[in-house]
Structures are given as C-alpha cells and as structure tokens.
Copies of this chain bind each other. A is one copy, B any other.
Amino acid sequence: MPRILIVNGPNLNLLGKREPEIYGSETLDKMNKRLDAMAKELHIDVEFFQSNSEGEIIDYLQQKGFEADGLIINPGAFTHYSYALRDVITAIGIEAVEVHLSNIYSREKFRRKSVIAPVVTGQITGFGFYGYAMALSYFADLKEE
C-alpha cells in the first residue's frame, strides 16, 4: 500500500477560524478526516503533519520522506521564501504535489511567486479542500499504472 505524506505549513492549523471568505469554513482536522476516508477507499496510506516552523517541517520530511511514495504539501507562506524547504524536497528525492487553497495568482503580488514550484511534479491552486483530493487521486492513479 503506497504511503503519502500530507504536510501543511504555517497558519494552516487555523483553517475554519481564519478569513473564511478566502480559505473556507472547514477546520484542518475535519479536512484531514475527509482525506483519510478518501485514502482508505483508494487503498493509500496517508500521514498528516502540520507545523508553523520551517525547521520542524524539514526535520519531518528528512525522517519520513525517504520511506514515503509521495508528498502533498501546502507550504503556506513558506511558498514564497523557504529555499530550505525546496532543498529538502530535492534532497530526499520524493515526488511532490504543491497545493494551495486559494488562487494565489489573483491575490497580492508576493503570493504569485512560489520557490517550491520548480521542484514539484505539479501545482494545484484555487480549489479549496478539493485541491488536496485531486492530489490524492493523482497518486492513486499513479499507483495503478
């Protein structure tokens, strides 16, 4: 059974409490439960992680990344400047999908630049919760081929 890591960056633990007009009203916990259920149906093993600390996310990926088959990551604000996060993805050689809840290309200028995007397979932006589901389906589909 393939193993997929689902990692969320800073402030994503506030989902549901934070600016619902941009990020929706569902909590991260509930979102993760829906993804877990979906993963079970797809016969995928998922593991969730969230941290507000760049260093902790890197530590986590170094520990779990070598054994995992894929990574779904919403780097939050780290998207725009964390070259360290970019480096760890390359270093552990994991296939990664970058997800954003809102359409980062129709917001403030600084949100349009992702330093992570050049090292992932693909980026999904603007679909809220559904973006994570899309990414999970992608890994399920990959497994079948």
Contact = CB atoms under 8 A, between A and B. Distances in A.
A122 B125 CA distance: 5
Q: Which of A52, A86, A120 has the most CB of B within 10 A?
A: A52
Q: Tell me how many chains of this kind the complex includes.
A: 12
Q: Which of A14, A18, A122 has the most CB of B within 10 A?
A: A122
B58 A56 contact: no
Interface residues of A, number: 56
A28 B120 CA distance: 25
Interface string A102-145: 01011000100011011111111111001101100110010000
Q: In terms of DSSP, what is the predominant structure of the interface of chain A?
A: helix
A53 interface: yes
A77 interface: yes
Contacts of A27: none
A42 to B, nearest CB: 13
Given A51-B55, A52-B59, A103-B120, 12 more contacts: A10-B58, A13-B62, A19-B90, A19-B91, A53-B56, A77-B86, A77-B87, A78-B84, A81-B83, A103-B123, A122-B126, A127-B138
